[in-house]
Amino acid sequence: MNSAIIFDMDGTLYQTNLILEPALEATFEQLRKNGQWTGATPIEKYRQIMGVPLPVVWETLCPDHSAEIRQESNKLFQLALIEQITSGNGALYDEVEHTLENLSKNYPLFIASNGQTAYLQAIAETYQLTKWIKGIYSIDIIASGNKSELVATVLQENNIHRGFVVGDRSSDIQAAFDNQLISIGVRFDFSQESELEKAHYTVNRFDEIDKIIEHALNTNAFD
């Protein structure tokens, strides 16, 4: 198989920031109605940890709540996110569709995300990503919740021996390193420079990825 390209979803392909606040606000409004939360919705705290596995999200946002309440909160949040997606309130980043279309002509494309399956499917269906994406992998299938293991699963199931991981957080960069892949960090909404320091390449626009991949292959970056 040719060199594959594995993309993160949130903050890489999809502008989660557009739906994050209303979905989180709806979730915590329900918690307030249930008498399970007082005060403002911790939106800024969530922005700081965006991209981590969902159990960590709710441990961070609701440290004093029981595991049961955290699980119920996550269910409410997922439903709110999907409602936002299907209502058209989110968006892909600029040039994502055009770039994926171009790349898919020469490379197999995959998504490996810390998002849950139903959430990822809602985005894929709303924006018809399966025209270009060969497989969408959710962290749901990895008991450890480890992104590196998720990427390893993509490689194993599709007989991939070399390729790229494109993402905005340290877990994406680490997943590339752990699987001997080339990392491309994107400087979008949730990215932090400290997390992208170890990336092989970084981009400010999605349509810069084409040239990065071409350059890496032409200079034998895998050797």
Condensed to tens digits (0 to 9), the pLDDT of residues 188-209 reads 887 788 889 999 999 999 999 9
Q: At what angle do helices 170-178 and 147-157 cross, to 10 degrees?
A: 50
What's the pTM? 0.91
pLDDT digits (tens, 9 = 90+) for 169-193: 999 999 999 999 999 999 988 778 8
Quote the number of domains for the chain: 2
pLDDT at 165: 98
The reply to whether 36 and 101 lie within a common domain is no
The residue range of the domain holding 156 is: 4-15+91-218
The reply to whether 32 and 128 lie within a common domain is no
CA gap 27, 198 in Å, rounded: 35
The reply to whether 30 and 130 lie within a common domain is no
